[in-house]
Each structure stands twice: as structure tokens, then as C-alpha cells.
Amino acid sequence: NHSDSPNKDFKVNPQYINRNPRCLEQAGIAPKPLGWQLQNPSRTYHHKIKFDISARNIIAEIIHNSGKVVVSASTKEKAIKAHLHSCNDKSAALNLGRILAHRCLQAGITRVKYQFQIADRQSERMEVFLSALRSNKLIISEKNTFKPHYIPGIDYERPNRY
């Protein structure tokens, strides 16, 4: 059809591998680690929120299921501490939520999992932190992974797990 095109002799590779390691997670296809069912908390997530309140400071982190800390915000940082009266109270929690959401969107992380714990029901700081994350456009639930339906049979000519 396109005889005058600059790409008429261009042959596209029939196999395409997207090397982006976050690609499958964002598409909802990458499997979540399922083998930690007997432990609490589980690891069925891609990115989770960790909200740690200590006696003087608050640390909020986004952790990948491999254990790596991807994005973090804490009141120990010079930039945040300078503007806060108390590093431990609700206002600090609220502002940390806003800042963490801002940094997550900069890093391309839009969906995060929050593992509910019964103790968090009474924590107003946690509630304020989560509502700040939500209002700053960070979605606090992850996509369910898609698994294809079972089809019997093994393809012995391809590499397979048998």
C-alpha cells in the first residue's frame, strides 16, 4: 500500500518483550506472591503502605513486595520538620499523607494496598493519613490479577513447567 513510505522494508519482530519491570503489575497480570497465607500480614500486593508512628516521629513508606522501599516520607526530614509544630500528631499525619501522595504520583505509582489491622480502627492519625492520600489522588486498592482459565494439555515442544 505505502510504496513511498520510509518504512516499507521494515520488518517488525513477531515477538515483543516489554522490559519494563512494572508493566505487568500496572496491567494487572503480574502474579502477587501468594505463598504467605499462614502469616499475618500477607504479601499479596505489589505496593503497600507502611505507616509507623514512633514516640517522636512518623515514617510513611511505600514498600514493594520484594521488600524494597520505593517512596518514603517522614517527619525526620529537614524539609518537613521545619514547618511542623509537632512531628507526631494528626496535623503531621495529614501533611505526610499529602506529601507522600505527591511523591508517589511523581514516581508513577497510582495504586497502593493498605493492609487493614484491627488496631488501626482506633487510630485517628491513620484515618487522617489515609483520607489525605485519597484526596490527593492516590488509589488505595490494587487491581485483582487476571489469571487465564484452566485449559488441559501440555505443549511439549515449548519450554514449560513440567
* Contacts with other proteins, residue ranges (CB under 8 A): 2, 4-13, 15-24, 26-27, 29, 64, 68-71, 77-80, 82-86, 89-91, 94-95, 98-99, 102-103, 105-110, 128, 148-156, 158-162
Distance CA 162, CA 160 (A): 6
78 versus 121: smaller Cβ distance to other proteins: 78
Q: Which three cell numbers stand for residue 117?
A: 489491622
Chain centroid offset of residue 83 CA: 28
Instruction: Find the shortest distance in angstroms from Cβ 40 to other proteins.
Output: 26
Cα of first residue to Cα of last residue in the chain, in angstroms, is 45
Distance CA 31, CA 36 (A): 13
Instruction: Find the shortest distance in angstroms from Cβ 139 to other proteins.
Output: 13
Instruction: Find the shortest distance in angstroms from Cβ 86 to other proteins.
Output: 8
